[in-house]
Amino acid sequence: MKILRKYLLKEILTMFLFSLIIFTFALVAGNLIKLADLVINKGVDIALVGKLFLLLMPFLLSYTIPMSALSATLLVFGRLSSDNEITAMRAHGINLYRLTLPLIVAGLTLSLFSVILNNSILPEAHFASRKIVKNIGVKNPAAYLEAGTFIKSFKGYILFINDIDKNKLKGIRIYQVQEDRPTRTIIAKKGEFINLENQNAIKLKLIDGTSDEPNPKTPINFYKLNFKTYYLTMDVDEAIPAGEHMQKKPKEMNFQEIKQEVKRLGRHHIDAPALIAEFHRKISISFASMVFIIIGVSLGIFTRRGEKTVQFTVALGVIVLYYLLMAVSMAIALKGVQPIGAWMYIPNILLAIIGICLFKNTAEK
């Protein structure tokens, strides 16, 4: 049993490193085109682009590590199954549960490392790269505003914008924090920034939404106003921060920073589903490696095919399914459907259940 365990761990480690190189190179190739564009078309210093490339690596590893863990276990156990070695092990009374236990421990170790990567290394790297990009020289004010983060630079307002494409905006929420009355909320499906010449202000054109308006008789109360077009002018003095004063997005915060931000926004009675979802997403995606090893072992035995192309295809299908489920879970969580955090664990739970059921079916035959 001890010799078999060492053999399995050695084979899986070899395939893991091979898969890690392949997946990381594939993702790097896609980003190299964008980085090359900065040097060739925008004249950015190549040293600065090189730094961006290094800061990109933690982001890529957060995806390629679990992907490689899945591919490695699937390839190794697929080959063992196709060579009837799994059948031979059963015939000699070898318990597959005990045989694969070290792999689960290895998956847990890999997942704990991923927690550190996703909570500490990746947020800092992403934030540092965004500061570099911002300091490169963006010319229009709207480009400085980041989608998917609470923008607190405008005096008296907190903005959250789902998508920014140049001056075009989608999914806009504006909170006007007032000391002597409740927080006023404005929501719009679309919008755009209108630059005002020679003025330290930006006009925001909002389209198709609702606005809380003070009741003339009792100003501390609001009534809901539906609008097709709504204009809001905001002072931009010091609203566009330098790179060193940038605000962090949820994915650039660690666990402690997310907790503090949720608590701070809560004092203004502002819900923060994006922050809560990101907190639990970091945990969930960190343990994807262990889940992928569980289902990789099961699928490797179940498929009984030794061709590497077949195994890579199965692995790709599982990866696509996992991240599709994660995207759906995130979309539901961002809508504020309770419990927000629980949605982020759905992909892990579903794949783990499928993997355990398949393994139990094959191990007890």
Secondary structure (DSSP) of 252-310: GS-HHHHHHHHHHHHTTT---HHHHHHHHHHHHHHTHHHHHHHHHHHHHHHH----HHH
The pairing of strands 157-165 and 222-235 is unpaired
Instruction: Count other C-beta atoms under 10 Å from residue 257's C-beta.
Output: 16
Q: Which residue has the higher pLDDT, 270 or 308?
A: 270
The closest alpha carbon to 15, from 63, 85, 75, belongs to 75
pLDDT in tens, 88-137: 776 666 767 777 778 888 889 999 999 999 998 988 888 888 777 666 53
Q: Per-residue pLDDT for 79 more than 50?
A: yes
Three-state secondary structure call for residue 176? strand
Residues 284, 281: Cα–Cα separation, whole Å: 5
Domain boundaries, the chain: 2-136+278-363, 154-239
pLDDT at 140: 47
Instruction: Count other C-beta atoms under 10 Å from residue 301's C-beta.
Output: 24
Three-state secondary structure call for residue 139? coil
Q: Which residue has the higher pLDDT, 25 or 85?
A: 25
The closest alpha carbon to 319, from 22, 12, 5, 10, belongs to 22
pLDDT in tens, 236-268: 544 454 444 567 778 888 888 888 888 888 887
Residues 14, 87: Cα–Cα separation, whole Å: 23
Q: Which residue has the higher pLDDT, 253 or 37?
A: 253
Q: CA 258, 118, 56: angle at the middle one, nearest 5?
A: 115
The pairing of strands 222-235 and 150-151 is unpaired
| Mean per-residue pLDDT over the chain, rounded | 79
Side-by-side strand order, sheet with 222-235: 150-151, 157-165, 168-176, 184-195, 201-214, 222-235
Residues 318, 226: Cα–Cα separation, whole Å: 44
Continuous segment of H or E residues that includes residue 192: strand 184-195
Q: Which residue has the higher pLDDT, 356 or 95?
A: 356
pLDDT at 303: 66
CA 74 to chain centre: 25
pLDDT at 196: 66
Least reliable range by pLDDT among 95-99, 184-188, 294-298 = 95-99
Q: Per-residue pLDDT for 287 more than 90?
A: yes
Binned at pLDDT 50, 70 and 90, residue 46 comes out as confident
